[in-house]
Chains A and B, each alone.
Chain A
Amino acid sequence: MAYKNVLKYSDVTPKADYMNRRQLMGGAAGLFAGMAMGPALGASKYSTDATPNTFEEISSYNNFYEFGTGKDDPARHAHQLTIDPWSVQIDGMVDKPGSYGLEDILKKVSQEERIYRFRCVEAWSMVIPWYGFELNQLLDMAGVQPGAKYVAFETLVRKEEMPGIRTVNVDWPYREGLRLDEAMHPLTIMATGIYDKPMPKQNGAPLRLVVPWKYGFKSIKSIVRVTLTDKQPLTTWNMLQPREYGFYSNVNPEVSHPRWSQATERTIGGGLFAKRKETLMFNGYEEEVAGLYSGMDLAKNF
């Protein structure tokens, strides 16, 4: 292999090794039923080859207002959160509504690593090696009924463990939503880990959404409820500032936030002299997702 200046996360484990390990894991999968968090099972075709941020960077700079509005508040306060046991209420227009235990969910889905670009609406970005499963697997598990058009999500509200619930002026719970076709898209995942570690609490443990072509706030954390509906659901940032945060919130360098440009982004980890980078349409996932919005005016449906 030719010398490469820029190491990728996938370079940590030589391909031959992880291919072998994959065979072993295949045998082990029956025993562990997918419960164990395996090492990277080879690169997904949806993963970027950009260099991921360090675990330290990803887990120390977060927006999770349930723990406070400062970037370091989540890392400081999220340890109080208990995430075991955890269950997700799936309801609305599904065949099998009910409370789904996280362990039971994880037994039935197949998880893999997805290295995604992550672009915050505040114009900073990271590259994050998520570990998780496609949301469509969870939705199939519950059985989406024909009339359903949207998926609504809610974050846990637990005053005793989340200091921001009392101090931050938001109509809790934190709410997010996707159109059903967005939710079913293979890029849309429910993440349970970062690198080979369980999801840090400040990043939305134990189960969070990741929609890589949308601004980060769409990727709702610590999910306790998923509702299938035929009406566009309310979403927290849209409720707070409808002029500034749309339901779609697709990454779009041409549509400015009313108070700042979205044309460029600061990459986290570049230090004090990090150069700004041009923001890509749909955060670089244009080829995969542009079709979802054909014929739509993206400046109106921002």
Chain B
Amino acid sequence: MKLVDHLNHGLRKVPVWLVYTLGAALPFWYLYLGLTGGLGVEPIKALEHELGELGLQTLILGLAVTPLRAITGVNLIRLRRVIGVLTFFYVAAHLLVWLVLDVQILSEIWKDILKRPYITVGMAAFILMTPLAITSNNWSIRKLGPRWGKLHKLVYPTAALGGIHYIMVGKTWEAESLLYMAVILVLLGWRVNDSRKKQRSRAIHQRNSARPA
């Protein structure tokens, strides 16, 4: 057996409920750290930052599933839903920390959403993710049919907006957020390229099959 097969064999054995449990526990772990001094002397921003970054990381991981399988053969498709749902959970927690612990003042929250472009962008990303989280179940897939796939393409603009949001939060152009954006762009770019290739091969296939035998 090849290494990839070993890896895939192992991945098939990972219980999905365990990934849900451990993944969902992470924000509570950070909350605990924040309460006990583990996030430094300014735990509010630190917690907000950790959760936001976690959301971006899982978002990137979710986007990487398809290219990873196409390029290396490693198959994470069974875990794609849990990755997506956790992403939403992290981003929602990030938003909640911003609302409750950071801004605190209700009138300021609305003003910030409208007046601060980086918050507008972040909120837009969150809104785009919401229907994806709601429809992350078998019932919705059956119910929506082919429209489900189309709907879930919303993850692409979500990722781009998330990356832009991170860049805009920085006081200046910061290497870390630029790196995240670069990875997101590579993953989105791969899809553009891939769908072009598929279109081309479909066109060739059609031409060939249209030829009289």
Q: With contacts A169-B173, A261-B111, A271-B35 known, is A276 near B104, CB below 8 A?
A: yes
B174 within 8 A of A: yes
B132 within 8 A of A: no
Task: Count contacts between A and B, CB distance < 8 Å.
Answer: 61
Bound CA–CA A69/B47 (angstroms) = 17
B41→A264 contact, CB < 8 A: no
Q: What's the nearest-Cβ distance from chain B to residue A197, in Å? A: 17
Q: What's the nearest-Cβ distance from chain B to residue A38, in Å? A: 28
| CB neighbours of B41 from chain A (8 A) | 53, 56-57, 60-61, 268-269
Q: What's the nearest-Cβ distance from chain A to residue B178, in Å? A: 10
Bound CA–CA A275/B104 (angstroms) = 8
Bound CA–CA A53/B102 (angstroms) = 20
B173 nearest CB neighbor, chain A only? A169
Query: Secondary structure at chain B's binding surface: helix, strand, loop or mixed?
Result: helix
B175→A167 contact, CB < 8 A: yes
A61→B105 contact, CB < 8 A: no
Produce 1/0 per residue, A261-291, CB < 8 A to B: 1011010110111111000000000000000
Q: With contacts A169-B173, A261-B108, A261-B111 known, is A272 near B44, CB below 8 A?
A: yes
Bound CA–CA A273/B104 (angstroms) = 10
B40→A71 contact, CB < 8 A: yes
Contact among B40, B104, B175 for A60, CB-based, below 8 A: B40
Q: What's the nearest-Cβ distance from chain B to residue A279, in Å? A: 13
| CB neighbours of B105 from chain A (8 A) | 264, 276
| CB neighbours of A72 from chain B (8 A) | 40
| CB neighbours of B47 from chain A (8 A) | 272
Contact among A69, A71, A170, A274 for B44, CB-based, below 8 A: A274
The tally of residues in B whose CB lies under 8 Å from a CB in A reads: 28
A260 within 8 A of B: yes
B175 nearest CB neighbor, chain A only? A167
Produce 1/0 per residue, B16-49, CB < 8 A to A: 0000000000000001001100001111110100
A241 within 8 A of B: yes
| CB neighbours of A272 from chain B (8 A) | 31, 34-35, 43-44, 47, 101
Contact residues, B109-154 vs A (CB, 8 A): 111-112, 115-118
B171 within 8 A of A: yes
Produce 1/0 per residue, A47-58, CB < 8 A to B: 000000100110
Produce 1/0 per residue, B45-85, CB < 8 A to A: 10100000000000000000000000000000000000000
Produce 1/0 per residue, A131-159, CB < 8 A to B: 00000000000000000000000000000
Bound CA–CA A68/B162 (angstroms) = 24
A230 within 8 A of B: no
Bound CA–CA A146/B72 (angstroms) = 72
Q: With contacts A259-B168, A264-B105, A276-B105 known, is A271 near B43, CB below 8 A?
A: yes
- Candidate in B41, B45, B174 with the most chain A CB atoms within 10 angstroms: B41
B195 within 8 A of A: no
Q: What's the nearest-Cβ distance from chain B to residue A73, in Å? A: 12
A254 within 8 A of B: no
| CB neighbours of A256 from chain B (8 A) | 115
Q: What's the nearest-Cβ distance from chain B to residue A77, in Å? A: 16
A binding-site residues for B, Cβ under 8 Å: 53, 56-57, 60-61, 69, 71-72, 121-122, 124, 167-170, 240-241, 256, 259-261, 263-264, 266, 268-269, 271-276
What are 27 A-B pairs with beta-carbon distances under 8 A?
A53-B41, A56-B41, A61-B40, A61-B41, A122-B171, A124-B42, A124-B45, A167-B175, A169-B175, A240-B172, A241-B172, A256-B115, A259-B117, A259-B118, A261-B112, A264-B105, A266-B42, A266-B44, A266-B45, A271-B35, A271-B43, A272-B31, A272-B43, A272-B47, A273-B101, A274-B44, A275-B104
A71-B42, A169-B173, A272-B44 known, 16 other contacts, Cβ within 8 Å: A57-B41, A61-B42, A124-B45, A167-B175, A169-B175, A170-B172, A256-B115, A259-B118, A261-B111, A264-B108, A271-B35, A272-B31, A272-B34, A272-B47, A272-B101, A274-B44
Across the A-B interface, the 10 shortest Cβ-Cβ residue pairs: A57-B41, A272-B34, A272-B43, A61-B41, A276-B104, A240-B172, A268-B42, A268-B41, A272-B35, A61-B42
B binding-site residues for A, Cβ under 8 Å: 31, 34-35, 40-45, 47, 101-105, 108, 111-112, 115-118, 168, 171-175
